[in-house]
């Protein structure tokens, strides 16, 4: 970044100064390693995945991997099965977590404990949840022993749709709860107090003040939970029925990559998965734009 | 369980007499919360009890207890190795992510420059998108480069979600530090290095610790990314456990459970430390609003 020879008669600021005015100076060099890592290990692999997905290992034209996937009703049906799992999981997680997060939005004595319990599944991950589920939900498990003790019929909640559903909710709900707790907590109390001063009851305050302010956050959280549940993998195998009811999109990816060592086919399905996820996120951004976008925090002064 | 979860609803009663009667929605909410916590804890506790049991049929509790599964698990070929790998990967990744991510987070928080929004978007994507959207492509690339299955590849792959997380967590902490402090240090003659080591790092310590521990917790539990790229000797604990669980002719349930208890102990340690220093609800949900 040396000073360029001044070509015109009007004296110009040195290039360095002009760049600095727009925020470009040597401190940006601190960004370089991070940009290199993200570009090299996240963006480039994405492009690499797209490029190998159109070079099928088994031959047959550029789009053979995609036509293979979409023409096989069993494989392509995975999209529907994933949607049938991810949407209810996201809906139930937000539906259960939202009232709880609303009540936990202020500091209270048990908050650390609640946070600890909620963080457990995030820390331990879906594998540990799937490992513990048989003892709780199998025909001889604790839930069915309890049901038998109180005279309820036996329920079959393992190695089918419901096994994966429960595992997914157990892992998704805590994340949703943490996000929503931040969203509800970020709404300034003074707005609520103002409404109360003007005579709004508790219900009115919730429906007319809190909910409209939280709506964009609720929507974003729902979409994030949906995307997260879209790529559910270990629990679909361990507590689901991976060849039928929980044959979600990640299963053919796993089979192609790990069992057939066909990374081109696996990448093609992963591209399909990514496109659907980006569509969901794009939809969230689009709908969000139509909701209230003012400040949720009151003035400080 | 019910009594402890009901406690917070009765708390406001002391302050505001008008709100003393718990509403139907409050009771319903805390019942659901209690049920969820009960199922979750039952799932986790059942793994611990399984690891301690001699045999367990269709009864409430196992017929006998033993500690021998832990010794068996420790002697299982591969377990000690995968614990070592787990620690090596976790420490290497957290160190790299902090070294690279904290300065980047500082620049993003302090400066306005062309491309800043693009950088923020591409830092957000790996955190939002679930790992399986890019795990296979990344593994294919690692094998193409000839480092598939090595420890290096496991470290590199796990860096992808961690580094953006560190950047995103660092930004609000930097925004909390007044630029006046930095200018004062410069007026008193601090050069950039001393500004960084004597002023910024001490002030940023809570943020660095929060970022470090939250990413540590995330590396420990990271399964998909490691699963596709790791070789026989570079498996982390979760991958080893998944292998044991998904193999029908694999080790007995109690032995796998004992392995898992090792993992739980490590992860719980990380979790407790992280809650000491950070409130995850704040760091995850509202980074932009936490200004002074």
Residue B194 has pLDDT above 80, yes or no: yes
d(CA B185, CA A103): 44
Provide the H-helix boundaries in A54-188: 64-71, 73-103, 111-137, 142-149, 161-185
* Whether A268 contacts chain B with CB within 8 A: no
Angle at alpha carbon of residue B219, lines to B210 and B126, rounded to 5°: 85
What is the sign of the dihedral through the CA atoms of B91, B96, B97 and B102? positive
Name the one residue in this structure whose structure tokens are 């299955």.
B149
- pLDDT tens-digit readout, A74-121: 988 999 999 999 999 999 999 999 988 888 877 777 777 887 888 888
Between chains, do B285 and A183 touch, taking CB under 8 Å as contact?
A: yes
pLDDT of B202 reads: 87
Distance of CA B53 to the CA centre of its chain: 29
Residue B292 has pLDDT above 70, yes or no: no
Contact, A240 vs A163, CB < 8 A?
yes
Furthest-apart CA pair in chain B: how many Å? 74
With left for phi above 0 and alpha for psi between -120 and 50, is residue B120 left, alpha or beta? alpha
The Cα of B205 is separated from the nearest Cα of chain A by a number of Å equal to: 19
Between chains, do B137 and A135 touch, taking CB under 8 Å as contact?
A: no
Mean pLDDT, residues B118-129 taken together = 88
Q: Is B217 exposed, middle or buried (0-12, 13-18, 19+ CB in 10 A)?
A: buried
Residue A154 has pLDDT above 90, yes or no: no
- pLDDT tens-digit readout, B41-95: 999 999 999 999 888 877 888 888 888 888 888 888 788 899 899 989 999 999 9
d(CA A220, CA A283): 10
Q: pLDDT-based confidence at B1, cuts 50/70/90?
A: very low
Residue of B271, B218, B223 lying closest to B82 (CA atoms)? B223
Interface predicted TM-score of the whole assembly (ipTM), two decimals: 0.83
Residue of B132, B203, B129 lying closest to B164 (CA atoms)? B129
pLDDT of A113 reads: 80
pLDDT of B5 reads: 39
DSSP 8-state class, residue A151 = T
Query: Taking the model in full, what pTM does it have?
Result: 0.84
pLDDT of B17 reads: 47
* Whether A176 contacts chain B with CB within 8 A: no
* Whether B291 contacts chain A with CB within 8 A: no
**Domain A50-288, CATH:** 1.10.3720.10
Between chains, do A131 and B256 touch, taking CB under 8 Å as contact?
A: yes
Q: What string of DSSP letters covers B112-142?
A: --TTHHHHHHHHHHHHHS-THHHHHHHHHHH
Q: Provide the token pair at A124.
A: 């331990």
Between chains, do A131 and B241 touch, taking CB under 8 Å as contact?
A: yes
DSSP 8-state class, residue B230 = B
Q: pLDDT-based confidence at B121, cuts 50/70/90?
A: confident
Name the one residue in this structure whose structure tokens are 């609303």.
A102
Contact, A192 vs A205, CB < 8 A?
yes
Nearest CA in chain B to A188: B289
Name the one residue in this structure whose structure tokens are 């609640």.
A114
The Cα of A215 is separated from the nearest Cα of chain B by a number of Å equal to: 14
Between chains, do B132 and A281 touch, taking CB under 8 Å as contact?
A: no
Nearest to A233 among B107, B132, B282 (CB): B132
Between chains, do B132 and A270 touch, taking CB under 8 Å as contact?
A: yes
Contact, B236 vs B226, CB < 8 A?
yes
Helix (H) or strand (E) holding A284: helix A263-288
* Whether A110 contacts chain B with CB within 8 A: yes
* Whether B16 contacts chain A with CB within 8 A: no
d(CA A179, CA A163): 25
Q: Return mean pLDDT, chain B.
A: 83
Nearest to A31 among B26, B104, B284 (CB): B104
Residue of B286, B259, B229, B148 lying closest to A185 (CA atoms)? B286
Residue B11 has pLDDT above 60, yes or no: no
Between chains, do B29 and A100 touch, taking CB under 8 Å as contact?
A: yes
- pLDDT tens-digit readout, B195-217: 888 888 888 888 888 888 888 88
* Whether B256 contacts chain A with CB within 8 A: yes
d(CA B169, CA B285): 10
Mean pLDDT, residues B247-252 taken together = 82
pLDDT of B12 reads: 43
Q: Where are the domains of chain B?
A: 2-51, 72-289
Helix (H) or strand (E) holding B85: helix B79-110
- pLDDT tens-digit readout, A163-177: 999 999 999 998 899
Q: Return mean pLDDT, chain A.
A: 86
- pLDDT tens-digit readout, B124-183: 888 889 999 999 999 999 999 999 889 999 999 999 999 999 999 899 889 888 889 988
Contact, B239 vs B230, CB < 8 A?
yes
The Cα of B238 is separated from the nearest Cα of chain A by a number of Å equal to: 7
The Cα of B104 is separated from the nearest Cα of chain A by a number of Å equal to: 5
The Cα of B52 is separated from the nearest Cα of chain A by a number of Å equal to: 14
d(CA A12, CA A18): 9
Mean pLDDT, residues A221-238 taken together = 91
- pLDDT tens-digit readout, A122-134: 888 889 999 999 8
Residue A250 has pLDDT above 50, yes or no: yes
Between chains, do A230 and B280 touch, taking CB under 8 Å as contact?
A: no
Contacts of A246 (CB under 8 A, 6+ apart): A81, A85, A160, A161, A163, A164, A236, A240
Is B72-289 in CATH node 3.30.420.40?
no
| Contacts with A23 from chain B: Cβ below 8 Å | 111-114, 116
């Amino acid at each position: 970044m040396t000073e360029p020879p001044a070509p015109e008669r009007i004296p110009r600021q040195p290039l360095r100064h002009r760049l600095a005015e727009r925020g470009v100076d040597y401190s940006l060099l601190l960004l370089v390693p991070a940009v290199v890592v993200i570009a090299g290990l996240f963006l480039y692999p994405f492009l690499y995945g797209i490029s190998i997905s159109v070079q099928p290992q088994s031959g047959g034209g550029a789009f053979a991997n995609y036509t293979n996937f979409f023409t096989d009703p069993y494989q392509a049906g995975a999209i529907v099965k994933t949607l049938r799992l991810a949407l209810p999981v996201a809906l139930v997680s937000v539906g259960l977590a939202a009232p709880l997060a609303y009540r936990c939005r202020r500091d209270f004595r048990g908050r650390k404990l609640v946070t600890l319990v909620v963080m457990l599944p995030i820390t331990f991950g879906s594998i540990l949840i799937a490992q513990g589920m048989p003892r709780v939900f199998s025909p001889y498990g604790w839930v069915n022993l309890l049901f038998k003790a109180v005279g309820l019929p036996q329920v079959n909640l393992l190695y089918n749709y419901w096994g994966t559903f429960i595992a997914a909710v157990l892992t998704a709900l805590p994340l949703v709860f943490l996000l929503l707790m931040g969203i509800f907590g970020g709404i300034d109390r003074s707005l609520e107090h103002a409404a109360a001063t003007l005579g709004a009851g508790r219900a009115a305050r919730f429906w007319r003040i809190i909910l409209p302010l939280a709506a964009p956050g609720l929507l974003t959280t729902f979409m994030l939970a949906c995307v997260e549940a879209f790529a559910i993998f270990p629990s679909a195998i361990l507590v689901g029925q991976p060849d039928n009811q929980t044959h979600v999109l990640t299963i053919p990816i796993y089979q192609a990559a790990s069992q057939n060592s066909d990374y081109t086919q696996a990448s093609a399905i992963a591209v399909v998965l990514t496109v659907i996820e980006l569509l969901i996120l794009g939809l969230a951004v689009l709908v969000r734009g139509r909701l209230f976008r003012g400040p949720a925090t009151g003035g400080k002064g | 369980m019910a009594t402890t979860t009901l406690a917070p609803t009765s708390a406001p009663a002391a302050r505001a007499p008008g709100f003393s009667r718990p509403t139907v929605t409050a009771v319903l909410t805390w019942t659901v919360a209690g049920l969820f916590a009960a199922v979750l804890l039952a799932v986790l506790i059942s793994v611990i009890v399984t690891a301690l049991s001699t045999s367990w049929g269709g009864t409430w509790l196992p017929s006998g207890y033993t500690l021998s599964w832990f010794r068996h698990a420790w002697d299982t070929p591969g377990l000690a190795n995968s614990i070592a790998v787990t620690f090596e990967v976790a420490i290497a990744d957290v160190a790299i992510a902090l070294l690279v991510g904290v300065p980047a987070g500082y620049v993003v928080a302090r400066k306005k420059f062309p491309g800043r929004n693009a950088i923020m978007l591409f830092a957000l994507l790996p955190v939002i998108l679930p790992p399986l959207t890019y795990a296979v492509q990344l593994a294919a690339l690692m094998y193409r480069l000839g480092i598939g299955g090595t420890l290096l590849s496991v470290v590199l792959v796990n860096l992808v979600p961690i580094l953006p997380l560190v950047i995103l967590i660092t930004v609000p902490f930097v925004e909390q530090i007044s630029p006046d402090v930095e200018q004062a240090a410069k007026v008193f003659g601090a050069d950039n290095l001393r500004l960084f080591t004597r002023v910024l790092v001490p002030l940023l310590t809570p943020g660095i610790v929060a970022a470090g521990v939250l990413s540590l917790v995330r590396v420990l539990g990271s399964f998909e990314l490691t699963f596709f790229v790791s070789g026989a000797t570079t498996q982390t604990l979760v991958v080893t456990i998944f292998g044991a669980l998904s193999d029908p002719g694999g080790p007995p349930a109690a032995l796998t459970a004992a392995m898992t208890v090792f993992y739980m102990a490590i992860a719980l340690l990380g979790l407790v430390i992280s809650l000491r220093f950070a409130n995850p609800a704040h760091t995850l949900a509202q980074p932009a609003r936490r200004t002074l």
